[in-house]
């Protein structure tokens, strides 16, 4: 595991409903200074928003890259990384185990509803320098890897929950809107 880049600037987080959030992202092709700067900004933004993961389209950039800094399984520290052009592998057959747990999204800040995800996930891709990376885990890490990879395919977790829960999610987000003004987390309430 590589240390996450530091020194980035906090960017505003894009909200659900913006077109960049609902279409597949373009693959990363250039592993250059611009990508490294973007990744550093994403890390700074994720930490400023107290998130465990952030995809590039959440800061308005149409590139298939996400960063994460996620608590590992019970008391084992955290797992962090950068993944460009991820390929998600999920268990099949009798190894599939769904877990229903509260889930939220920095692009719909403050709101949480139950969402079913597979208990285990593995993602393979490239880091910001173009080197191969692989991350796998269960619990919150598995949820994070699935959530962030979904973002890069233009899927928000609200697309995965029943209509009743989606309505509750939007209602809760609307009630908390004053705490997360436009430009958040780069601009505070």
Q: What is the CA radius of gyration of the chain?
A: 16
Question: Around Cβ 173, how many Cβ atoms within 10 Å?
Answer: 21
Among all chains, which residue has been given the structure tokens 């309505």?
Answer: 167
Q: How far apart are CA 116 and CA 70, in angstroms?
A: 18
Q: Is 148 annotated as catalytic? A: yes
Q: Among residues 95, 148, 172, 179, which one is catalytic?
A: 148
34, 71 contact by CB (below 8 A): no
The two structure tokens encoding residue 135: 């991350």
Name the residues annotated as catalytic.
Answer: 148
């Amino acid at each position: 595991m590589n240390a996450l880049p530091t020194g980035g600037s906090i960017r505003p987080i894009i909200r659900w409903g913006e077109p960049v959030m609902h279409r597949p992202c373009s693959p990363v092709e250039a592993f250059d200074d611009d990508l490294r700067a973007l990744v550093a900004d994403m890390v700074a933004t994720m930490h400023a928003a107290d998130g465990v993961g952030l995809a590039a389209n959440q800061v308005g950039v149409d590139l298939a890259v996400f960063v994460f800094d996620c608590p590992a399984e019970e008391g084992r520290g955290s797992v962090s990384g950068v993944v460009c052009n991820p390929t998600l592998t999920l268990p099949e057959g009798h190894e599939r185990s769904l877990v229903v747990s509260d889930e939220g999204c920095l692009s719909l800040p403050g709101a949480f509803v139950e969402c079913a995800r597979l208990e285990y996930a593995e993602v393979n891709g490239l880091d910001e320098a173009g080197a191969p990376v692989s991350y796998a885990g269960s619990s919150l890490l598995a949820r994070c890897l699935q959530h962030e990879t979904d973002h890069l395919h233009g899927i928000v977790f609200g697309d995965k929950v029943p209509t009743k829960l989606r309505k509750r999610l939007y209602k809760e987000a609307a009630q908390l809107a004053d705490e997360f003004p436009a430009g958040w987390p780069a601009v505070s309430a």
